[in-house]
């Protein structure tokens, strides 16, 4: 034995034995804080983690999914933006769970265990300023594919409002996977709903492609509702409807859902205007997304140069099942790079909107870049088709789309209009570039009226 090794062994012997890890003292606090929010009756997770018996029963699988960082679900990579409500276990917490399983999952003294967390009820943000309810329930079948249904809530607002938060209560929380909140001042939602109702008798209308006039936010399973930070709020014009795009995940038994939505308003217009930037714009509609079957690394990227100093408020991403990596980065004028957001292995089930813990300030001239890749190979376990099939841009769950997004404000509100116009122009430029390349967009298949900007744009050779 080498002297070093001898020394090490001696030290090891001299150290007190590590404290035994028990459920009561170590694992219960971890599981109740990081798992039980979803792993409880009436929530999406398939089994509860609300007691020693529950946790012991699932200990081995739990260890595997914790180690693989599949659970708790949290997509953004650490080191690429610092977000609120981060749901990641530390290496030390994972090591603790490993030690507990290795020791044979001992319970310890039950008297030392914390009480399981109380069921979330009522409105965590307090009573909403406006509550609306579905007038009829929506029937969710026991099984079959996931459903996307949009519900229209006429709000009857007599004046413009500013929304700081939206929350909802479900009658069958076990089937509601995520919800997007839109404002619709166009009446399109009502029309679509009336058309669909005539056919199916169900409330709402199907699809994930509703084109709103405003975005109010989103909620994904396990998320706690939050108010926008820094006194920010999004506009909700008088007369607008609220449209809720809801993703249902059948639970194994037939359920019916009747959602109640609560809106929270600001007392006055915010001092700074919130903007949204998508890279590429319109979820990649003008980025020639046409992914051949078997293609493992289909890429699209887009850049936008900041016309004014900005503060980034939040980041997010959207793609369908084949999305793989979604990345947002910034190149400053001195050439330095900063990563703002990264999802390495996109999982459609866990989309969310992420708010930076602190606003991220970026100076005028910074180049923002969005990179999206898709994996349409048979090796992608999330590919809905075996063998893979061609995936084009579209709004159905079989089609693809993808972009990263940022919520941002101008540092000086006086610059807000310049920022807004630059974002609009950027969309127009990307549209025109698509037209010049000769991209084919089958507007009829998409069910979208041909935009006048598209008709007017100089046209390249047909491909």
The CA distances from residue 59 to 25, 31, 54, 64, 128, in Å, are 16, 11, 9, 9, 39
The residue among 59 and 296 lying less far from ligand HEC, judged by its C-beta, is: 59
How far apart are alpha carbons 93 and 377 in whole angstroms? 35
Q: Which is nearer to ligand HEC, 88 or 190 (CB)?
A: 88
User: Which residue's CB is nearer to ligand HEC, number 70 or number 337?
Assistant: 70
Q: Which is nearer to ligand HEC, 222 or 284 (CB)?
A: 222
Q: Token match 């209009």: residue?
A: 417
Which residues in 48-62 are b (16+ Cβ under 10 Å) and which e? Answer: bbbbbebbbebbeeb
CB of 155 to ligand HEC, least distance (A): 29
CB of 349 to ligand HEC, least distance (A): 6
Among 57, 49, 161, residue whose Cα is nearest residue 116: 49
Give the DSSP H or E segment for 291: strand 290-291
Q: Which CB sits closer to ligand HEC, 72 or 270?
A: 72
Q: Which is nearer to ligand HEC, 222 or 323 (CB)?
A: 222
Tracing tokens 């329930």 back to the chain, one arrives at 137
Which stretches of the chain bind ligand HEC, using CB under 6 A? 34-35, 37-39, 44-46, 58, 61-62, 65-66, 71-73, 221-222, 349
Nearest approach, Cβ of 114 to ligand HEC (angstroms)?
15
Which residues is 41 bridged to in the sheet? none
CB of 281 to ligand HEC, least distance (A): 30
Q: How far is the CB of 71 from ligand HEC (least distance, A)?
A: 3
Distance CA 157, CA 154 (A): 9
Which residue lies nearer to ligand HEC by CB, 71 or 289?
Answer: 71
**Long-range CB contacts (< 8 A, 24+ apart) of 132-136?**
132/242, 132/260, 132/261, 132/263, 133/258, 133/259, 133/260, 133/261, 134/203, 134/257, 134/258, 134/259, 134/260, 135/203, 136/203, 136/258
Classify the phi-psi angles of 94: left when phi > 0, otherwise alpha if psi is within -120 to 50, otherwise beta.
alpha
Interatomic CA distance for residues 425 and 419, integer angstroms: 10
Tell me how far CA of residue 324 lies from CA of 161, 180, 374, 375, in angstroms. Answer: 38, 22, 5, 6
* Assigned token pair, 3: 């002297």
Q: Nearest approach, Cβ of 220 to ligand HEC (angstroms)? A: 8
DSSP at 286? T
Shortest CB 81 distance to ligand HEC, Å? 19
Minimum CB–partner distance for residue 234 and ligand HEC (Å) = 25
- Is the Cβ of residue 116 or residue 363 nearer to ligand HEC in the bound state? 116
Least distance from ligand HEC to the Cβ atom of residue 439, Å: 35
For 335, the token pair is 């050439």
Looking at beta carbons, which residue is closest to ligand HEC? 222
Phi-psi region of 30 (alpha: psi -120 to 50; beta: other; left: phi over 0): alpha
- Indicate the residue among 39 and 327 with the shorter CB distance to ligand HEC: 39
Residue closer to ligand HEC, measured from CB, 26 or 161: 26
Q: How far is the CB of 209 from ligand HEC (least distance, A)?
A: 23
């Amino acid at each position: 034995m080498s002297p070093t090794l001898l020394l090490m062994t001696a030290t090891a012997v001299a150290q007190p034995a590590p404290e035994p890890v028990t459920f009561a003292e170590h694992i219960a606090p971890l599981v109740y804080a990081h798992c039980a929010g979803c792993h409880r009756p009436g929530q999406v997770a398939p089994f509860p983690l609300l007691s020693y018996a529950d946790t012991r029963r699932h200990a081995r699988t739990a260890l595997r999914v914790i180690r693989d960082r599949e659970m708790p679900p949290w997509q953004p990579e650490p080191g690429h933006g610092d977000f609120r409500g981060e749901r990641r276990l530390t290496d030390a917490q994972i090591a603790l769970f490993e030690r507990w399983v290795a020791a044979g999952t001992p319970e310890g003294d039950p008297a030392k265990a914390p009480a399981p967390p109380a069921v979330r009820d009522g409105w965590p943000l307090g009573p909403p300023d406006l509550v609306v309810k579905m007038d009829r329930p929506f029937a969710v079948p026991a099984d079959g594919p996931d459903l996307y249904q949009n519900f229209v809530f006429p709000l009857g607002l007599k004046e413009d409002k500013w929304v700081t938060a939206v929350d909802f209560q479900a009658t069958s929380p076990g089937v509601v996977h995520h919800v997007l909140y839109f404002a619709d001042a166009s009446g399109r939602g009502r029309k679509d709903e009336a058309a669909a109702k005539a056919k199916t008798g169900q409330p709402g209308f199907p699809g994930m492609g509703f084109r709103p006039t405003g975005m109010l936010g989103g909620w994904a399973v396990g998320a706690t509702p939050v108010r926008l930070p820094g006194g920010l709020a999004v506009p909700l014009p008088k007369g607008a409807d609220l449209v809720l795009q809801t993703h249902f995940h059948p639970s194994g038994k037939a359920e019916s859902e009747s959602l109640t939505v609560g809106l929270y308003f600001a007392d006055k217009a915010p001092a700074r205007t919130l903007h949204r930037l998508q890279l590429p714009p319109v979820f990649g509609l003008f980025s020639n997304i046409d992914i051949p079957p078997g293609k493992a690394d289909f890429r699209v990227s887009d850049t936008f140069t900041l016309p004014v100093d900005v503060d980034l408020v939040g980041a997010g991403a959207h793609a369908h099942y084949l999305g793989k990596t979604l990345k947002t980065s910034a190149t400053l004028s001195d050439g330095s790079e900063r990563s703002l957001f990264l999802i390495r292995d996109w999982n459609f089930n866990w989309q969310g909107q992420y708010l930076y813990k602190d606003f991220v300030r970026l100076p005028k001239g910074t180049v923002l870049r969005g990179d999206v890749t898709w994996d349409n190979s048979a090796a992608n376990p999330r590919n809905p088709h075996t063998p893979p099939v061609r995936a084009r841009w579209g709004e159905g769950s079989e089609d693809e789309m993808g972009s990263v997004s940022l919520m941002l404000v101008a540092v000086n509100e006086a610059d807000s209009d310049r920022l807004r116009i630059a974002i609009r122009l950027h969309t127009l430029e990307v549209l025109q570039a698509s037209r010049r390349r000769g991209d084919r967009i089958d507007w009829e298949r998409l069910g979208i009226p041909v935009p006048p900007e598209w008709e007017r744009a100089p046209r390249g050779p047909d491909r």
